Amino acid sequence: MRLFLLYLHILLFNFPSFSLSSSNFLCHPEDSYALLQFKSSFTTYTNYACQEQPQKTSTWKNGTNCCSWHGVTCDTVSANVIGLDLGCESLQGNIYSNSTLFQLSHLQSLNLSYNDFFGTHFHSKFGGFQNLTHLDLSSCNFQGEVPPQISHLSKLISLHLSRNGQLSWKETTLKSLVQNATILEELILDETNMSSIHPNSLNLIFNQSSSLTNLNLQRSGISGNWKNNILCLPSLQELDLSKNDYLEGQLPNLSCSTFLRILDLSYCSFTGPIPLSFSNLTYLTSLSLIDNRLNGSIPSSLLTLQNLTSLSLKDNLFISGQIPDVFPKSNRFQKLDLSSNKIDGQLPKSLSNLQHLINLDLSSNSFSGQIPDVFDGLTKLQELRLGYNRLEGQIPPSLFRLSQLDYLDFSNNKLKGPLPEEISGFQNLGYLFLNNNLLSGKIPSWCLSLPSLGMLDLSNNQFTGNISVISSYSLYYLKLCSNKLQGDIPESIFNFANLATLCLSSNNLSGVVNFQHFSKLQKLDTLSLSRNSQLSLNFESTVNYNFSILSTLELSSVGLIGYSKLSSGKFPGLRYLDLSDNKLFGRLPNWLLNIDSLQSLGLSHNMFESMDQFTRNQWQNLQGLDLSFNLLAGGISLSICNKSSLILLNLAHNKLTGNIPQCLANVSSLQVLDLQENKFYGTIPNVIGELQALHGLNLSHNRLTGSIPQSIGNLSSLESLDLSSNILTGVIPAELTNLNGLEVLNLSHNHLMGEIPQGKQFNTFSNDSYVGNSGLCGFPLSKKCGPKQHSPPSANTLGSEEN
């Protein structure tokens, strides 16, 4: 026995690396009591951010050793509770000043993140944990001001208070904290309120912080002009000031922070060029300056930083010259995003050196010339976006050998020529966008048989020939519209259970298609077959078509005659229906009248003769109604005024007559009203000036008489006004000069007289706006106004003078 005790004594005292688990000690009763009381003061809720996290407090049982409880750490010598981790515990309730949490005075680490303490103020008692080295209260819904007592936590190494939007800082509190916590390394305060702190004060706050390595002030409300040479922190490795929309001025000179690895200044309002001093940040691995107002050229020295793996300069104003052709073979780029700028010139051939690249986005610029054949070495490339440029010529063959590519967008360029008939890559391609180019030839079979393809857009090209058999069973988005495709729609298209969008419009497709087959596509949301004049749709009147989630149906110019073949169908979710440019007439089918969800109905260029069916109580959510180019006669039904959601009403080129209804003023949401080429007579109702949302008003080519209402001058959103070819008399109201956004004005061919009003937009209109009014004079007409030809003042002007 004595030998055993001697051995144990040697083991415990002569080998300091050996220690017993904290759970082998019985925790102090007062700590156990404090923890159980703290737990009992909360309820739990469904926390979707932490769904897979097991609940730690389920192991907390009275009478058991709290040092063995999940989330609890005890000191191995004193057995005091020194660590409490209840992050993602789904606790809900308040932490009051008498909470037993504050009795755990030996805490060194406290994590309460991702719980809901909504309404709880950040108590000064948190400043009593003077041994605390790590404090994480992020995403807890704390509110109020951070108390000055937080500066008592002088041993802090890490402080996380992020995503507490109602938590605010005073400059003095933050300064005291940083000055007292001399070993602080991590300060994560994103999405707290620091709007009272001017950016130039940050230098005063952090100038003594030699230990800080990670500073996050993202979306903290800092605003004002940033002066140079601030935040010169010698140990700083990560700095995030992104999403402070009103933080402006030029980018700071951060060359003094020589160890900086990650820098994010995105979504601010910085201006000017990228400082050359950024090229001195040789440890930099990630730089993000997205969505600022930066201009000038991209420094070539920035592109040669050997440790830089991610560079994002998206959404700025870089315009000068092309990308420097300087990428070294030693680069480590994995992500390069220069999209949405104004960079021009040709793509550099040294792109071939970016052999670690995973994501390359140069879209929405002004690049021109051919795409260089540089892809053989980019074997890791997964995303490639060159859309919305001015690139031309053929797609280089090396591109089609990439095996890891998942996303390819070359849309909206001037690329031409055929696609290769066979390829060896693209096994993992999920998204292919080649739309809006000049590509020609047949669509190769591989385009429609890639095993992982989900989205394919080849629309607006010059592809010819038949559509081959489609076997990409993962397809849910297929657009082949606006080409020169011929032949039948392949039967294989009806086998795609996941297909949600199908656009085959504006081609030369032919043959007979049983419309019922499209109802097999249970996830179909958008179907467009418009403008295929040789295509014949077979609607069997005995079949009840069920399109449960179809929201958009475009069947214009497909030779539909009457409604006898459209007598049945279920379209419970249809919102946009275009049946224009057919030969439809007669009564509308009940299935169409009963679609409560309908928002837009296009029936132009048909042979309808009456408005009765279009103006009843159906379609209360209708926003757009186009009945132009029909044979509508009679007056406008007053029930049209009950469609309060209507944004566009187009009744142009019909045979409508009578007065323009006064009740149209009730449709306050109306933005476009087009009644041209009808037989309306009477005066323009003065209430037209109550349609404050109007952008376009066209009453031309009717038989309207009387004067132009002064109230039109109240339509502050109006961009286009056409009252031409009527019988309007009187002067042009001076109130129309108040229409600051007016871009199009046509008052020609009326009987107007007097001087044309001057000022603002009226000074930009030419003679064409007034031709055919022999009584008009003044600029821009060559006819000068005599003493008796000046326009009289408006009624409003007279009223103001009398007052």
Q: Flag whether 23 is in a domain.
A: no
pLDDT score recorded for residue 794: 44
pLDDT score recorded for residue 17: 32
Q: Flag whether 71 is in a domain.
A: no
Q: Beta-carbon neighbour count of residue 597 at 10 Å?
A: 14
C-alpha torsion sign, points 102, 107, 108, 110: negative
199: pLDDT confidence band, cut at 50, 70 and 90?
confident
In the predicted structure, residue 14 carries a pLDDT above the cut 50: no
Q: Flag whether 631 is in a domain.
A: yes
567: pLDDT confidence band, cut at 50, 70 and 90?
low
210: pLDDT confidence band, cut at 50, 70 and 90?
confident
Is residue 722 within 8 Å of residue 744, measured between CB atoms?
Answer: yes
pLDDT score recorded for residue 7: 36
pLDDT score recorded for residue 623: 94
- Tokens 């996050």 found at: 216
- Cα separation, 52 vs 49, in Å, equals 9
Average pLDDT value over all residues in the chain: 89
- Tokens 């309060």 found at: 644
Q: What is the pLDDT of residues 399-414, one digit of tens each?
A: 999 999 999 999 999 9
Q: Flag whether 441 is in a domain.
A: no
Kindly report the three-state secondary structure assignment for every residue of 454-506.
Answer: CEEECCCCEEEEECCCCCCCCCCEEECCCCEEEECCCHHHHHCCCCCEEECCC
Over residues 491-500, mean pLDDT: 91
Q: Flag whether 687 is in a domain.
A: yes
Residue type present at position 555: L
371: pLDDT confidence band, cut at 50, 70 and 90?
very high
% of the chain beyond a pLDDT of 90: 73
**H-assigned helices in 531-641:** 590-593
What residues pair up with 134 in beta bridges, in sequence order?
A: 109, 158
| Residue 375 CB burial class (10 angstroms; 0-12, 13-18, ≥19) | buried
Q: Flag whether 693 is in a domain.
A: yes
The kind and range of the H/E element at 300 are helix 300-303
Q: Flag whether 434 is in a domain.
A: no
> How far is C-alpha 701 from the geometric centre of its chain's CA atoms?
42
In the predicted structure, residue 46 carries a pLDDT above the cut 70: yes
- Cα separation, 798 vs 801, in Å, equals 5
> What pTM was estimated for this model as a whole?
0.85
pLDDT score recorded for residue 391: 97
CA angle at 446 for the pair 445 and 448, rounded to the nearest 5°: 70
Q: Which of 617, 651, 622 is nearest to 636 (CA)?
A: 651
In the predicted structure, residue 542 carries a pLDDT above the cut 60: no
pLDDT score recorded for residue 390: 97
Q: What is the pLDDT of residues 213-243, one digit of tens each?
A: 999 999 999 998 887 656 778 899 999 999 9
In the predicted structure, residue 475 carries a pLDDT above the cut 60: yes
pLDDT score recorded for residue 229: 58
3-state secondary structure (DSSP) of residue 252: coil
pLDDT score recorded for residue 70: 95
pLDDT score recorded for residue 802: 35
In the predicted structure, residue 798 carries a pLDDT above the cut 50: no
Over residues 740-756, mean pLDDT: 96
Q: Verify cis geometry, omega within 30 degrees of 0, for the bond prior to 780.
A: yes
Largest Cα–Cα distance in the chain? 130
* Count of positions (residues) in the chain: 803
> CA-CA-CA-CA torsion for 767, 768, 773, 776, nearest 10 degrees?
-20
In the predicted structure, residue 797 carries a pLDDT above the cut 50: no
- Cα separation, 45 vs 655, in Å, equals 64
What residues have CB less than 8 Å from 338, skipping those under 6 apart? 298, 311, 313, 314, 318, 323, 361, 362, 365
In the predicted structure, residue 801 carries a pLDDT above the cut 60: no
In the predicted structure, residue 321 carries a pLDDT above the cut 90: no
How many structural domains does the chain have?
Answer: 1
Q: Which of 71-75, 168-172, 540-544, 549-553 has the lowest mean pLDDT?
A: 540-544
- Cα separation, 533 vs 503, in Å, equals 15
788: pLDDT confidence band, cut at 50, 70 and 90?
low
> What's the domain range around 630?
552-798
Over residues 760-764, mean pLDDT: 89
Over residues 164-186, mean pLDDT: 95
pLDDT score recorded for residue 208: 67
Whole-angstrom CA distances from 300 to 239, 275, 328, 462, 500 are: 23, 12, 11, 39, 45
The conformation of residue 35, written as its DSSP 8-state character, comes to H
Over residues 54-65, mean pLDDT: 92
The kind and range of the H/E element at 754 are strand 751-755
CA angle at 551 for the pair 549 and 557, rounded to the nearest 5°: 125
CATH of the domain at 678: 3.80.10.10
Q: Flag whether 286 is in a domain.
A: no
201: pLDDT confidence band, cut at 50, 70 and 90?
confident
pLDDT score recorded for residue 12: 34
